[in-house]
Amino acid sequence: MLYKNVKYSCNQVEKYGGKIVTVYSCSDKDLLKEYTTTYFEAFTKHRMHEKIDHYLDNAQEQKARRELNMKAAQEFYASMGENKGD
């Protein structure tokens, strides 16, 4: 399936007790490249579309946060000198 150029799939899963449920899942690498997650699910198509919209709308903010975290980690380890607690 495709929504806003993002690939996701729909699967039927049997839960404990024999009930069949529909699960939508997404692991689109282009969508998630700025995030620390590689996979997410939703139980309705509408909710999957909402989640995809959220990831699309917040990618630049997430990229800035990730870069800030990386810079902070680099500065922290640089300040430790030779003994880094390994």
Q: pLDDT by residue (tens digit) across 22-71? A: 999 999 999 999 998 999 999 999 999 999 999 999 999 999 999 999 99
**Where exactly are the structural domains of the chain?**
2-79
Q: For residue 22, how far is the Cα from the chain centroid? A: 20
Cα dist. 24→51, 57, 67 in Å? 11, 20, 30
What is the rounded (10 degree) CA torsion for 6, 9, 10, 11?
A: -160
Pairwise CA distance, residues 57 & 30, whole Å:
14
Task: Give the global pTM.
Answer: 0.78
pLDDT in tens, 15-32: 888 899 999 999 999 999
Say whether pLDDT at 1 is over 90: yes
Mean pLDDT of the chain: 92
CA distance 28 to 5: 10
